[in-house]
Amino acid sequence: MEAREFVAQGDRVLVVGFARGMIKATGRSFDDDWIFAITVRHGKLTNIQEYIDTQALARAAQMSASEPT
């Protein structure tokens, strides 16, 4: 997992990053571009939203018909 860019404006911070991983159940790897949208108020985190490449994760997690479940 690697944070590549930080964009701050007002009480919002966007963190743009990349992750590479593997789904143990299938042995398939995935590449995932992600963004965290963070809100900070009075020096405290008040909200974090994560946006990920769900299609890449779904593809890596999909079992083929010949694999046991």
The domain segmentation of the chain, as residue ranges, is: 2-61
Place of tokens 């590479």: 20
Edge-to-edge strands, sheet with 2-9: 2-9, 12-23, 28-41, 44-51
6-58 pLDDT, tens digit per residue, is 999 999 999 999 999 999 989 999 999 999 999 999 999 999 999 999 899 89
pLDDT of amino acid 63: 81
CATH T-level topology, domain 2-61: Nuclear Transport Factor 2; Chain: A, (3.10.450)
> pTM of the prediction?
0.72
Six token digits for residue 37: 């949208």
